[in-house]
Structure 1
Amino acid sequence: MNFLRTALTAGLFIVGSSAAFANTCLATYTETAEPVLARKCTACHNDASPGSGVSFQKGSGYDFLVNVASEQLPTMNRVTPGDTSQSYLAHKISDTHESVGGSGGKMPPSGRLREAEVEAIIAWIEGCTVEQ
């Protein structure tokens, strides 16, 4: 985990401009978080299941996540770039969502995420910076 965070942080500091940071956030999502979410979450969260509120199919998850209010906790974004404490996705996969006022069960409900997969998603959120 420390290696992944260090590598991700170093990569973000190498890139200089805010536009490059925005592109890096999406690129890092595509490289690290999207494969996990697509593999573990699309059975329920896909383009064909509009009731789920989010799709993790390749190519669509990022737009459903970053700076988008959570349906279960509208006062918190699904992903707040750089801040896992204010990112509902981080709480759902860490099973801390109820402690911040959320509802429902831990995600995913079956086929638990491995520690390395949770760490990859958390590292992406922590390293993500987008233009406002």
Structure 2
Amino acid sequence: KDKKTAALEKAARKEAKKNKQAEKANKGATKKSKRELAAAGEEDIEVLLNGMDNDPKTRELEGQKKVRTEVLEAPPSPRLNMSMTVTNSGDVLVFGGEFFDGDRQTVYNDTFRWDIDKGEWKKVVAAGANANLYRRFGPTLF
């Protein structure tokens, strides 16, 4: 072998070793993160997502509507720090938020749809066993 080939092989071995060490460090960090989540009483997101896919109640809902709406007589309660987005149809979606009345803090975990043309508010309710889990994910407007 000439010197150039030997140098390239050495560099390749060095790079492979570096990649293996990085992979090992990443694996260790993942394990540590899972232990910390378990200690804090929280579930790993991968476990939650896999649970949704494998949940018989979720499979039972396939082909059915996963969301239902309820028409409201009045707008939702006053709130701030909520997520809002405008849909392609021009409706406004509102998720969550909070309200402080000077004495007590209320944090909301609900979703509403405002049909601007009709001036109508609807509460959006996720159906199924993991209804609250589905509502944890969604767009956020900054």
| TM-score, scaled to structure 1 | 0.23
Greater Rg over alpha carbons, structure: 2
Greater RCO between the two (CA within 8 Å, min separation 6)? 1
Higher-strand-fraction structure: 2
Higher-helix-fraction structure: 1
